[in-house]
Structure formats: structure tokens, C-alpha cells
Copies of this chain bind each other. A is one copy, B any other.
Amino acid sequence: MAQQKKMVDAITSMDEDFAKWYTDVCKKAELIEYTSVKGCMVIRPYGYAIWENIQRILDGMFKETGHENVCMPMFIPESLLQKEKDHVEGFAPECAWVTYGGSEKLEERLCVRPTSETLFCEHFKNVVHSHRDLPKLYNQWVSVVRWEKTTRPFLRSREFLWQEGHTLHATAEEAIEETERMLGVYTKFCQESLAIPVVQGQKTESDKFAGAERTYCIEALMHDGKALQAGTSHYFGDGFARAFEIQYLNKENQLTYPHQTSWGMTTRLIGAIIMTHGDDNGLVLPPAVAPIQAIVVPIAQHKEGVLDKANELKERLAKVCRAKIDDSDNSPGWKFAEYEMKGVPVRVEIGPKDIENNQCVLVTRHNREKTFVSLDNIEEEIIRKLEEVKEGIYQNALENRERRTYIAQNLDDITRQLEENGDGFVKAMWCGNEECEDKVKEITGVGSRCIPFEQEQLSDKCVCCGKPAKHMLYWGKAY
């Protein structure tokens, strides 16, 4: 049967229209589909399988660092949300409100959680009484809702999937250590599993999470030179504990306020993967989270012995990685395009000639490099190849970031470099004043991304006002 399921339609090129390229990839790689629920999407099997891999790896890292999963209600009574002043101010404007249960109007309206600090606080108050009950190291995998005006798949949707860690500690030191530890976990995950290089830093005062004392973040640079916040980790001090009257008896038998953290990563990461590694042929997936790591494509599969050998090869590969075979009646050319669109890291071709020579062909998605390898130790070859892909796409991303990271001494410097070389990170000194932060954004279009942990003394003057500088900042246009 020669009828083909569908041809892979070409997608918009990245350089022509990056935003259109992005949504094309989301659709054509079958990651998502739109729905009649405005601002919400269906995550399709291929997209969800990426998320399942992200979950599995991150969840393992959380459990290794002593965290336990729980599940809080999805609703927050309005009065509970209001207990911490900064927090409610930050979130109330984007809450979805449930006002009816069946045909009855609720006495108190409930918001669909935009985040769950308030629910965790209520719970902590119920279960924490003594220093022996601390620390509490909790996490949950749920979806949250924020009523955004403009939405884009994965990057900004009214509902999104995430994990939210919430921990409670006896001392500020312990809580800060936890905040930093989880930022470290996020960094490791992004760099090693997603092959996305990130900058670790701290948000400025104006950019902190609503209710936090400090917000740490990791920032990645996308292919188009825009910045994406890939994960955040917040230190709350004892602010929430005071607002919710959470106290414990310390070893000296005194009532004490504990210190708190929260940290989260979301389905945004899938957007980050697309925009960091993707190209004009579609998705390029980091092997660690790719639903299919190796796709076997038989060549001249109608010839005797080819399908048998290809299936045998697939079975061998499946023992060491996530391997699949496409033995459908679509043409090899169609299959090549299909699995390139889907970002499968390695394509494995095997035809009559290869079989004769006891070999197969490995083609790596990101650079289309072909290698002929012996079938004898194909298991080791594929593992090595997947490692090579990871290294390769990480290096590409790093080079892109470095090429697009500019140093600026004044506002003109910023504008000129962005104009000449395109969007990117700008490293520049800052006096610590919010007015300068705002002014830089107003004049040059780039906002502060973070105060990086790795500080450099680029000069001693603020890029904006010229007064003594306090920090070096990363600036950029943000997703």
C-alpha cells in the first residue's frame, strides 16, 4: 500500500519568523494541540512523554535529596490566599475564581491554585509542633492556573504543569542552604539532562516572587537571543510562618517561627528545549528526555531479510536505550523527515548493503553526521553516540550564548550591540537602584534577568547613572 499517512509539511524558517517557527514545531512535532478552552492546550502523547521523562529524572533527584511527594487541594479559599499580604497582591489579579458548586453559590469563593504556599502553610501549621517535626521537605506534581492575557504553548499558558517544592526548616541557615541546594539541582538537571547551559543568580528586589525574601533563578538564552527563566528557588524567611502562625517548640522548649522555601520548574522547560536546540527541520531533543532515542529505518525493506535484520537490530538497541523501528510502508525519505521533525537524536539506517557488510548507519539529528558502524558492538556504539549528541548540542547552545553575550559600559553600548548583533544577554554594572533598572529597560528594551553568582568587575560605575556600582547584572529580553 503506497498511500502515505501524511507528508511532513515544511515549517516556517527560524530566521524568517522565530515565533511562527516555534508554534509550527509545537504542532508539527505533535507536542500540542489547541482547544476551545482559551489559553489552555492539549499536551499530546509525544509532548507528554517528554514531560514524563523530565518528571522521572527530577523526581529522582528530589527523592535523593530527601524530599517526599504530597498532594494539596487545587482550591484555595479567598481568605486563606489573603493571609500573606505581598503574596495575595502578586497573585490575586491572575486567579481563576470558582463561585458556584453545582447550582449553589459558594459562601466564599475559591481560587484555582496559582501556586500553593498558602495551602502548605495551613498544612504545616497542623503537622509541625516540635523541632522533631522539622525539616519538612515536600514536593508536589500538579497543574496550576494563572489567568494570562496572551498565551503561547509551554511558555505561557493559563494552565501549566509543574512541580512545586515547599520546605520548612528550624533555622534561616538551613532554609537558605535548601534554597541554594535546589537551585543546584535545577542547574545540574538543565545542563546535564537537557543540555541547556544556564546562568545562576539572584533576582533583583523588584523581580522577586510575591512574598519571598530572596528569589534565586537560572536563566537560559534561547536561539533567538531572548532569555528564558528555567527555574526559580525562593527563600521566604519566617514571613509566611508569622502570617500563618506556624510555630514549633525548639530544643530549649521555646516557641519559634520556622523558615521556609519553595522552588518550581514547569512545562516551560519543553519550550526551552525547543528554542535552545531546534532548527529549521524541527525539534532536536536531548537524549535524556527524548521519548525515542534511536529510530531504526529499514532501507529497501521489501528485499528479503531486511525487516528481520532491522527488527533484530531494534531489539538489541532497545536493551540499552529507548529504540523504535518504523517499518510502515512510508518511504525512507518521509521517515527521515518525520523523525527529524520529532527530534529523535539518532537515526539508524539498515539496508541490504549494510547487512552484507555487517554494519548500519548512524545519523545524528543535530548535525546530520553519518557514521558507518559495525553491528558487532552496536549497543556500545549507540550509547557513545547519544553521549556525543548531548555534548554536541550543549556546546552549540553554549557557543550561541557566548556569541550573544555582550559587555556594556553605558546605555549606548547596550543599544548598539543589540542592534548590530541581535538580541542576547548583556552584562553590565548596576548601582542597585530600582530607578536605574527601570530606565535601562525603558531606553534599551532589556530588563534585568539576575545578579549572577559569578560576579565580574566590568567597571566601578552603574551602566545607567554612572554612580558607584554594586553588582554586575545580566540583562535581556525575556520570554
Binding site for B on A (CB under 8 A): 5, 33-37, 40-45, 48-49, 51-52, 68-77, 80, 92-103, 109-110, 112, 119, 122-123, 126-127, 130, 132, 138, 142-143, 145, 147, 158-159, 161
Please determine whether B73 and A40 come into contact, CB atoms closer than 8 angstroms. yes
Chain B residue contacts of A73, Cβ below 8 A: 35, 37, 40-42, 159
Given contacts A43-B71, A45-B69, A71-B143, 4 further A-B contacts (CB under 8 A): A42-B70, A42-B123, A49-B68, A96-B110
Q: What are the residues of chain B within 8 A of A102 when measuring CB–CB?
A: 92-95, 147
A-B CB proximity, top 8 nearest? A40-B73, A45-B68, A101-B147, A97-B100, A43-B71, A37-B73, A99-B99, A102-B147
Kindly state the separation between the CA atoms of A109 and B101 in the bound complex, as whole angstroms.
12
Q: How many copies does the complex hold?
A: 2
Q: What residues on B are CB-neighbors of A45 within 8 Å?
A: 68-70, 138
Contacts of A51 in B (CB 8 A): 71
Shortest distance from the beta carbon of A125 to any chain B beta carbon, whole Å = 10
- Subset of 25 A-B contacts with CB under 8 Å: A33-B123, A33-B126, A34-B126, A36-B122, A37-B73, A37-B75, A37-B76, A37-B77, A37-B110, A40-B74, A42-B70, A43-B70, A44-B127, A45-B70, A45-B138, A48-B68, A48-B70, A49-B69, A95-B101, A95-B102, A98-B99, A99-B99, A100-B109, A102-B147, A112-B112
What's the minimum C-beta distance from A27 to chain B, rounded to whole angstroms? 11
Find chain B residues with CB under 8 A from A109 CB: 100
Which residue of B has the minimal Cβ distance to A103?
A: B93
CB-CB under 8 A from A80, the residues of chain B are 36
Residue of B nearest to A99 (CB): B99
A183–B464 Cα distance when bound, in Å, is 68
Q: Which residues of B have CB within 8 Å of A101?
A: 94-97, 147, 158
- Name the one of B35, B122, B159 contacting A123, with C-beta atoms under 8 angstroms: B35
Determine whether the beta carbon of B69 is less than 8 Å from that of A122: no
Minimum C-beta distance from A244 to chain B (A):
11
A75 with B159: CB separation less than 8 A: yes
Residues on the B chain within 8 Å of A142, using CB: 143
Alpha-carbon separation in the docked complex, A52 to B45 (Å): 21
Task: Decide: A35 near B122, CB < 8 A? Known: A73-B41, A99-B100, A112-B112.
Answer: yes
A292 to chain B, nearest CB (A): 13
- How far, in whole Å, are A138 and B45 apart by their CA atoms in the complex? 8
